[in-house]
Every structure is written in C-alpha cells, then in structure tokens.
C-alpha cells in the first residue's frame, strides 16, 4: 500500500499548491489552463483507448458497456445528485466537473489500474510511484482551475487503488489481462468525454457514464467462467 499512499499524498500536495497559485491567476490565464487541460485530457483518453484496442478480445464490448452504463447512470441520476450535493456543500457547480475529471484521470489510467495489481502480486511499486508524480502535476493544474475542493479526489483514489490492491491480494491469479484491457478502453473513452466537456465542445454528463466501468469486469469474468 506504500505506492498508493504516495500517490494519494501527491494529489493532496498538488491540490494545495494549485489552490495557492489560483489566487493570482488572471481570467485569461485561467482560460488558457482550462484549454491546455482539456487538450491534455483528450490526448490521454485517446492514447489509453487506442493503445488497448488492438489487444481487445471483445471488440464490441466497449460499445455495450457505454450503452448499459449510460442507462444505469441516467436512471440513478448520478450527475444530478453529485451536482446538487456539491451545490449545497460547496456552492461551486464547476467543482463537479473538476472532480469528475480528476477522479477519472487519477483512477482510470493504466498505471493506476495495473500499479496496485503489480504491487500486490509482485511487491513492485514503480508504477504507482510514477503515477504519483504524474498526478502531482495534474492535480496542481486542476486545483488552479477548480480550487482546493479538488483535494476530495485524493480519498477516492486511495479507496480505488486500495480496493484493487486488496482484491488482487485476495484473488491472486483471477484478475486477467483481458479485464484490464477492456476496462482501460472504456476508461479512456470516459477520459476523452471529460476533455470534450472541458473545452466546451459538447456538455457530457460523464458521471452518468461511470457505471460503464463495471460492465467489462462482469462480462469478461463471466466469459472466463465458461
């Protein structure tokens, strides 16, 4: 869990630094940061998806995952509930977009998924340490745009990576590369959707799509049983 603790600490540090820098940011600088963040998010999403596409054994699974996830998310109204909660407690509607983007960027990257598994099965924290340094930069930029509230993404990352770590420990060889591949493809698309929203190209309720991440794990797991 050392790697996950380091990764979480880097997000807290980056969020704190970013919120300090934010006080002196001009509107033009803020807009440029948002544009840069949106472009970088799109690039990361495309890279994650395209990199794993050739390794997919279920080429249409990501389409089904997104469709099923969208239906479940819309039924649960995850985006609406999240925005109402933040509006009551934070008074900043934009923070919902920042947190959803941050959580996706921190949790869905290949390093954030494979890292805890490698740490659990091999005791190698190299991926998590590398991911921590990347997240330090990302969280600084996000907090400079959305404020100190971005720090709330840190416990989400800790629970995410900690859960993967404990699951890998418990299941050992049951977690297949196919599961990681399919999850990464769907995750990359969701990161891409966040980038599109940041650039105001089209408003996408990314939170309502989050249930799509569960579908490939369930489907691949069932296929492997039979």
Query: Minimal CA–CA distance to 11: which of 147, 106, 139, 141?
Result: 139
- In our burial notation (b when 16+ CB lie closer than 10 A, e otherwise), range 65-99 reads bbebbbebbeeeebbeebbeebeeebeeeebbbbb
Q: What are the structural domain ranges in the chain?
A: 2-221
Q: What's residue 28's pLDDT?
A: 75
3-state secondary structure of 124: coil
142 neighbors 101 (Cβ within 8 angstroms): yes
Q: What's residue 7's pLDDT?
A: 93
Q: What is the DSSP string of 82-132?
A: HHHHHHHHT--THHHHHHHHHHHHHHHSHHHHHHHHHHHHH---HHHHHHH
Q: What's residue 94's pLDDT?
A: 67
d(CA 209, CA 126): 30
154 neighbors 12 (Cβ within 8 angstroms): yes
Per-residue pLDDT tens digits of the chain, which is 226 residues long: 888 999 999 999 989 988 887 666 666 776 777 788 788 888 888 988 998 899 999 989 999 999 999 999 999 988 888 777 656 655 455 677 778 778 877 887 767 887 888 788 778 888 788 888 888 888 888 888 788 888 889 999 999 999 989 988 887 767 778 888 888 888 888 888 888 887 888 888 888 888 898 899 899 988 888 7
Q: What is the DSSP letter of 175?
A: S
Q: Which residue has the tokens 């807009």?
A: 31
Dig out the tokens for 16 from the structure. Answer: 């704190």
d(CA 195, CA 136): 19
Q: Count, in order, helices (H) and strands (E) of the chain.
A: 10, 0
d(CA 63, CA 60): 5
């Amino acid at each position: 869990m050392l790697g996950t603790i380091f990764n979480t600490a880097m997000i807290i540090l980056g969020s704190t630094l970013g919120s300090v820098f934010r006080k002196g940011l001009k509107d033009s600088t803020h807009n440029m940061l948002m544009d840069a963040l949106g472009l970088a998010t799109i690039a990361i999403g495309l890279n994650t998806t395209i990199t794993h596409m050739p390794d997919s054994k279920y080429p249409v699974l990501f389409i089904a995952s997104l469709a099923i996830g969208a239906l479940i998310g819309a039924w649960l109204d995850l985006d609406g509930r999240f925005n109402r909660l933040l509006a009551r407690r934070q008074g900043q509607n934009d923070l919902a977009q920042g947190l959803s983007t941050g959580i996706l960027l921190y949790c869905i990257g290949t390093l954030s998924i494979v890292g805890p598994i490698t740490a659990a099965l091999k005791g190698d924290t190299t991926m998590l340490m590398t991911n921590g340094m990347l997240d330090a930069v990302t969280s600084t930029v996000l907090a400079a745009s959305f404020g100190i509230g971005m720090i709330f993404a840190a416990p989400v990352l800790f629970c995410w990576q900690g859960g993967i770590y404990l699951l890998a420990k418990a299941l050992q060889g049951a977690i297949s590369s196919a599961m990681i591949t399919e999850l990464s493809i769907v995750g990359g698309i969701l990161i891409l959707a966040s980038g599109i929203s940041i650039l105001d190209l089209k408003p996408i309720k990314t939170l309502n799509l989050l249930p799509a991440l569960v579908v490939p794990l369930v489907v691949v797991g069932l296929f492997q049983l039979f």
